[in-house]
Amino acid sequence: MKILAVDDDPIILELLQHFVSAMTDHEIVTAECVTDALVVLGQQDRPFDCFLLDIQMPGTDGIEFCKILRDTEGYQRTPILMLTAMSEKDHIDSAFHAGATDYITKPFEVNGLKGRLGLVEQIAMGARNKTGKIFAVNAVRQGSEQIPMEQMEVPLFLPFTIGEVDGVIENQAMENYVTQLSRRSLCGSVVMAFTIREVADLHDLLTPYDFTCAITDVSEAISDCLLPTQRLVSYSGNGTYVCVVEGAKSINIDRLVDQINLHIGAMGLSQSDGSALNIRVCAGRPSRLVWRKGEEAVKALRQAHISAEENADRLAREVGSIWISAQGA
């Protein structure tokens, strides 16, 4: 794996070079500021597989550089690991909003760094393997005219990257986010999930491009309706979105679902041929992350996903029963 590390502290860069070289067979290139990093990027004949970015740097900081990378062709899905001496949740939230995949606090332990790089390597390998199969909507919009439709694929059950929607992050980044935060940081957070009803029928009906656009538009509606709370949203596949919301003392989930569906309706979604789309979502049971940490917090995300899909299945059965009853009458 080829890594670019950017930190204004030369001692940190020296430690990173030593640790990475001693523990792994990865190649690491360093830069002391974003300006130098941009020069390094332009000099490479092979793209980087991972970035290690210090959050707090003079001039352009790591969060702004993360945004730049996410807008750079070829780096929309590349893992970005933030290095920070700041444990405040606001800084961490800002990093994930900018597109970070994971983070580690300084001073870091050798085993901790090795473990995070191991996870990042798995993500990098997955990103390379999925190229041309699972794609961000940006890539589709920019290049779909050159890709034969029969070669494009968006598997229904797998998550994919959604770009340029405020508050929406990758599914793996969401798991990393709740894994790393302390119980104290998560105690005011609520996890909930929303599922597109009859999403399998929608997936069969639409082209890969239209399905990707629909998933992206729904994510925007969910993110907008969760304002003004601090929120992070990830698409976890199968038409389901998992959300972590902070500062929501009480949530009327039924009213929130109505707001989202009204917002989706007002967006006037349609297929490429102009045919209107009638998309609605439902929600599972929200739960608080208080006293949950690590794997328990990740488990809560997955339980929320399951709860939303179970509710979608229940509603589909109820609609089917009503239709059968009406036919019988």
> What is the amino acid identity at position 123?
I
Direct distance between the N- and C-terminal alpha carbons of the chain, in angstroms, rounded to an integer: 65
Mean pLDDT of 179-186: 62
pLDDT score recorded for residue 128: 53
pTM for this prediction: 0.73
Assess contact for 242 and 167: CB atoms under 8 A.
no
Domains by residue range for the chain, with CATH:
1-131 (3.40.50.2300), 133-329 (3.30.70.270)
Cα–Cα distance measured from residue 191 to residue 285, given in angstroms and rounded to the nearest whole number: 9
Nearest to 213 by CA among 145, 290, 270, 275: 270
Query: By CB neighbour count within 10 A (0-12 exposed, 13-18 middle, 19+ buried), where does 199 fall?
Result: buried
Cα–Cα distance measured from residue 162 to residue 174, given in angstroms and rounded to the nearest whole number: 13
pLDDT score recorded for residue 88: 62
Region of 239 (left: φ > 0; alpha: ψ -120 to 50; beta: rest) is left
Structure confidence by residue, pLDDT tens digits, 79-88:
898 888 766 6
Q: Which two tokens stand for residue 195?
A: 């599922």
Structure confidence by residue, pLDDT tens digits, 42-62:
888 888 988 999 988 888 999
Of all helices (H) and strands (E), which one includes residue 289? Answer: none
Q: How many CB atoms lie within 10 A of CB 170?
A: 24
Mean pLDDT of 168-186: 76
Residue 126 in this model has a pLDDT that exceeds 50:
yes
Structure confidence by residue, pLDDT tens digits, 256-314:
999 999 999 999 999 988 889 999 999 999 988 766 667 888 888 999 999 999 999 99
Chain centroid offset of residue 206 CA? 23
Q: What is the DSSP letter of 150?
A: G
Assess contact for 52 and 46: CB atoms under 8 A.
no
